[in-house]
Amino acid sequence: MLQKKWWHEKTAYQIYPKSFCDSNGDGIGDLKGIISKLDYLKELGVDIIWLSPIYCSPLADQGYDISDYYNIDPRFGTMDDMDELLKEAKARNMYIIMDLVVNHCSDEHQWFQKACGDPEGEFGKYFYIETVKDGKLPNNWRSYFGGSVWEKLPGHEDKYYMHVFHKKQPDLNWENPKLRHEVYKMINWWLEKGVAGFRIDAIMNIKKPNIFTTYPADREDGLASIENMIRDAVGIDEFLHEMKMETFEKYNAFTVGEVFTDRPDALKAFIGNDGHFSTMFDFSETCAGKNEDGWYKCQPVVCGDEYKACAFGTQKRLGDLGFISNIIENHDEPRGVSHYIPAEDLNDTSKKMLAAVNIMLRGLPFIYQGQELGMTNVDFTSIDQIDDCSTQDEYKVALKAGLSADEAFHAVLPFSRDNARTPFHWNDSANAGFTSAAPWLMVNPNYVQINAKDQVGRQNSVFSWYKELISLRKNPEYKETIVYGEVIPYKAEQKNLMAYYRKGTDKTLLVAANYQNKAQDLKLPGTFKQVLMNNLDTLDLDGSTLHMPGYQVVILEL
Ligand code: NOJ
């Protein structure tokens, strides 16, 4: 039986600080900007806020390369601003969680600087540094952002360090107890300060198999996917258990893991009652249609039955074992509405359908900034408009595979992380009201139609729909059912129909969505008490048959 936790009934929201709200006119979002928008988030119904990294960083990977874990990057503000944010959030009964990025730090972190100065010394042991003879690297692993995981250690001709992400993100050596102790000290420092917990970055990478393992090459570059490393690493549980006991457990902190793994026991080990984390993201939909050869071969849209199969698959595997976190997008993914709805069907009705089927699942909803407005992918016109290092790499992969520049650009564009990273649309004034200066990344031109000013307070807006979904989840009448009720698929075999019961102790709801643009009929299981939500103005009921126009979704109380 799942043990109940304070955060189960909450709703979480991810802020990508660089693109949320710029208070000082430098084109970059900041903490003061976030503070100024807390009331907006409160109105939406948000309880937990996850801040993508705001620590000091050269921003080679947008803050996921940390050069000082104990300070705020001046571009985002000061520690006083952070304290103010914690205070203002608390005053509104909101919780702040930080991003915990400890698989790697920045090459500008003093640990790495010292390691470069003395690779054999104390700090050299914080990293994976190897002496290379005759140019033969220790292994042939390909980093997530392309190229070998090995890079020459600055100042040393014969020494290399390992980085599974960007070369400015050297991997920390978790085998070293001293390093682990430093990490735990830092975590506890933030928990003492009043953060409620952490989103835990790239955590599966902290454990490596024998680093001298060479795998069969899977591309012409002679390298092998880093997934081999994740698959073969044994013993991560000891690290994660130790981290939990030394930190989170002592503070009753909330943690959500970025866990990518095929381990059959993963759900129990990571989010069971004694799991390493409170919860973890469900990436089953985001992983659907992926291809090992590169983004250019991935499937740009995953919808209807495919989406349903992913969501139901997770719920079935999970059962009552733990509490998953449900997303349709984040800062590493394209916009959910662009990825899970075909472009020609994209409108407020289909966006609301996607929101309802996702938020009504069992688990903790995480909304990514702008999702509540139905923000979409961006029609970038040139690869030069893209800042993201991963997109730049995948573009090169596509070119190498023989695509023309234009083909390569259009093949990778649907997956670009910058789709979700463009500035937030506050209003229809210049730069979407995000900044008074030139924004660091272009604003999606559709901000004139899609923006908060237009949607907050407009009854049938996407924002109002999200607000209503969140408030239904909090409604004392339905809370128990929506938070803890079982998910039971209904007519799972009916094509492009995504319907499921939420069965609580004293109530049963039915969420039914016509996940396609064509109308279809749904035979209801019997009579129902009332319609709790409907994304259309009409309900076309004929006896117990519901005639559903394309993308209609209803939530019925049975
Ligand atoms: C996952 C983060 O979400 C992503 O943005 C980042 O590039 C990598 N981890 C490396 O930290």
Which residues, in sequence order, are CB contacts of 29 under 8 Å at separation 6+?
A: 16, 17, 18, 19, 20, 21, 22, 76, 423, 424, 434, 435
**For every residue of 88-110, which 3-state class applies, written as one string?**
HHHHCCCEEEEEECCCECCCCCH
39 a catalytic residue: no
**For every residue of 368-401, which 3-state class applies, written as one string?**
ECCHHHCCCCCCCCCHHHCCCHHHHHHHHHHHHC
The pLDDT score that the predictor gives to residue 33 is 98
Q: Which of 81, 99, 201, 388 is catalytic?
A: 201
175 a catalytic residue: no
CA–CA dist 11, 6 (Å, integer): 12
- The runs of H, that is alpha helices, within 163-299 are 177-193, 227-232, 236-246, 248-251, 266-271, 284-287
Q: Which atom of ligand 1 is nearest to the CA of 390?
A: 7
Q: Which atom of ligand 1 is nearest to the CA of 52?
A: 3
pLDDT in tens, 55-76: 999 999 999 999 999 999 999 9
3-state helix, strand, coil in the chain (%, to 5): 35, 15, 50
Do 66 and 183 contact (CB within 8 A), yes or no?
Answer: no
* pTM of model > 0.75: yes
- Ligand 1 centroid–CA 303 distance in Å is 25
- Ligand 1 centroid–CA 63 distance in Å is 9
Identify the helix (H) or strand (E) that includes residue 488. Answer: strand 486-489
**Four-way CATH pick for 483-557: 3.40.50.800, 3.40.50.1970, 2.60.40.1180, 3.40.50.300:** 2.60.40.1180
From the list 36, 20, 38, the residue with the least C-alpha distance to 28 is: 20
- Max distance between CA atoms of the chain, in angstroms, equals 79
C-alpha to C-alpha distances, 34 to 84, 434, 473, nearest whole angstrom: 11, 11, 25
Which CATH number does 12-104+178-386+424-462 carry?
3.20.20.80
Estimate to the nearest angstrom the gap between the alpha carbon of 443 and the chain centroid: 21
Q: Which residue has the tokens 């005639």?
A: 547
Do 386 and 419 contact (CB within 8 A), yes or no?
Answer: no
Q: Where in the chain is the domain with CATH 2.60.40.1180?
A: 483-557
**Side-chain half-sphere CA neighbours of 341 within 13 A:** 30
CA–CA dist 185, 219 (Å, integer): 41
Give me the average pLDDT of each 10-residue run along the chain (558 residues): 95 98 98 98 98 98 98 98 98 98 98 98 98 95 97 97 98 98 98 98 98 97 97 97 98 97 93 97 97 97 98 96 97 98 98 98 98 98 96 97 98 98 98 98 98 97 98 98 98 98 97 98 97 98 97 98
Q: Which of 81, 130, 258, 329 is catalytic?
A: 258
The pLDDT score that the predictor gives to residue 1 is 87
Q: Where in the chain is the domain with CATH 3.20.20.80?
A: 12-104+178-386+424-462
